[in-house]
Amino acid sequence: MARTWHEEQACRVAAEAGDAEAQAQLGLMCERDGRVEEAERWYAAAAETGHVMAMKYLGTLLSGAGRTGEAERWLRAAADAGEVQAIVNLGTLLMGDPQRRGEAEELFRRAAEKGVVHGMVNLALVCAETGRDAEAHEWFTRAAEAGDTESMLYLGDAARRTGRAEEAEGWFRRAAETGDPAAMTELARWCASAQRMEEAERWHRAAAETGRALSVTNLGVFLAQSGRLGEAERWLRQAAEAGEPQAMFNLAVLLGDTGRAAEGRDWYTRAAEHGHVDAMYNLGNDLADGDPPQAETWLRRAAEAGHVPAMYNLCVLLNGQNRYQEAIPYLLKASDAGYPPAMNAAARDLLDQRRYDEAEPLLRGAADAGLPAAFRNLGRLLKETGRLDEAETWLRRAAEAEDVEAVTLLAELLTRSGRNDEATRWLQWLVQHGYAHPA
């Protein structure tokens, strides 16, 4: 609630006269205005007199500032005095220490059994994280029945994962009908997955009309996927200009797809500067030919944020500049993360060194992911290790995907097994497509 200057001054007079309630209220006013140090002084003054709510306010403020020891003292004092939200906040503080999670759970249970919804939700989350699904479901249900939207969405998602479609939709709908924009979006996505596009659009629009920038973005994405690019652009631009990074990214994609690459790059840059990792990756790729140093900057930032394709593309960029040693760690990280092109590239290096046992599992992983270059390299490995029947299978798959090197290797294998006519057909394919072949 907004307060006038006169109201604050009246509260200040009472606080300075030692009124603990006024001190606590003045602390709240200061904290809401961003005057955190002054808020702490007034909370402390009231808390020292035994004002329970001030103890909670002070403990919560100190917890947010990372002063955990002091925060625990005051939250515990308020919790011991029976302040139920302080019990939850103390549990949340203790969850940050792996050694005290059991104590945190007991605090959440105390609050939950007193009917505190946040206590129910936090207890349910702890149960879910520790594999006690039935108990988690019970507490999420109790919280949902008490009106907690997050719990409704959790229950809807749990029902969806286990194939209980009617139950899932029921929870999503209940959550959406609370007016929560994220819940409306979830219901919209559910409807879209069931091909009920008109209803999906209604819920996307209802969410967007709350003014939440991410909901505006989601409506824009839905419209773009429906082929209504002009309307999609208007919504995405509205959210992007309001500062929503996801909207900036999606607007950049739309602009690029509709032939406005320069403006798209500007929006990628703005999204990347807001920390959007996919935008960093796309921007790095976009700049790779025209501005390699800037491309490296963005790919490196994305890679260091954990974006696996960026790790691989940064490796490719560095290799292109003969910075092989610098590239290796990025290649290995991307390969270890299971990215098929990186697995294939790492395996190819091992294959060239005849380290077949190390290369084979990487190549099988990349081939199973459908990467034609991995088909070829796995076929080459199998050929070199004498497993010719399986080698032919993989080389044929790569050749049918028009991998030129695989065509050559397959033709060689066919020739050695006396199938000259088929080998000739593959070599003729090379000539027809402008590739030379060995005489």
Q: How confident is the model at residue 251 (pLDDT cuts 50, 70, 90)?
A: very high
Confidence of residue 439 (pLDDT cuts 50, 70, 90): very low
Residue 160 belongs to a domain: no
Other C-beta atoms lying within 10 Å of the C-beta of residue 102:
9
Domain end among 81, 112, 136: 81
Q: Judge whether residue 110 has pLDDT over 80.
A: yes
Mean pLDDT of 233-254: 98
Position 178 in a domain: no
Q: Is the pLDDT of residue 362 over 80?
A: yes
Task: Compute the distance between CA of residue 426 and CA of residue 435 in angstroms, rounded to an integer.
Answer: 11
Token look-up 């949902």 returns 144
Q: Is 180 left (phi over 0), alpha (psi -120 to 50) or beta?
A: beta
Residue 72 lies in a domain: yes
Is residue 14 situated within a structural domain?
Answer: yes
| pLDDT value at 438 more than 60 | no
For 393, the domain range is: 367-439
User: 150 in a domain, yes or no?
Assistant: no
Of 435, 428, 401, which Cα lies nearest the Cα of 414?
428
CB 386 within 8 A of CB 371: no
Residue 434: which CATH number? Answer: 1.25.40.10
**Mean pLDDT confidence for 260-275:** 97
Average pLDDT score, the chain: 95
Q: Which residues neighbour 384 within 8 Å (Cβ) at sequence distance 6 or greater?
A: 351, 354, 356
pLDDT, one tens digit per residue, over 372-420 is 999 999 999 999 999 999 999 999 999 999 999 999 999 999 999 999 9
Whole-model pTM: value is: 0.81
Round to whole Å and give the CA distance between 42 and 181.
36
Is 198 inside a domain boundary? Answer: no
Last residue of a domain, one of 37, 61, 81: 81
Residue that terminates a domain, selected from 51, 81, 111: 81
- Residue 203 resides in a domain: no
| Strand ranges for 289-417 from DSSP E | none
Mean per-residue pLDDT, 40-61: 96
Query: Using CA atoms, how far apart are residues 38 and 428, in angstroms rounded to an integer?
Result: 83
Of the candidates 225, 249, 222, the one whose C-alpha atom is nearest the C-alpha of residue 237 is: 249
Query: Which of the four pLDDT bands, split at 50, 70 and 90, describes residue 274?
Result: very high
Q: DSSP letters of 393-428?
A: HHHHHHHHTT-HHHHHHHHHHHHHTT-HHHHHHHHH
Cα 381 to Cα 339, 340, 402: the distances in Å are 20, 17, 19
228: left (phi over 0), alpha (psi -120 to 50) or beta: beta
Residue 1 clears pLDDT 50, i.e. is over it: no
Which pLDDT value is given to residue 8? Answer: 84
Rounded Cα distance, 334 and 340, in Å = 9
Between CA 276 and CA 54 the distance in angstroms is 39
- Quick check: helix, strand or coil at residue 1? coil
- Rounded to 10 degrees, what is the CA torsion of 46, 49, 55, 61? 40
CA-nearest of 433, 438, 435 to 423 is 438
Per the structure block, which two tokens stand in for 1? Answer: 């609630």
Let me know if residue 204 belongs to a domain: no
Whole-number percent of the chain with pLDDT over 70: 98
pLDDT greater than 70 at residue 2: no
- Total domains, the chain: 2
Q: How far apart are CA 114 and CA 64, in angstroms?
A: 25
- Distance (Å) of CA 138 to CA 60, 142, 245, 364, 426: 28, 6, 37, 44, 64
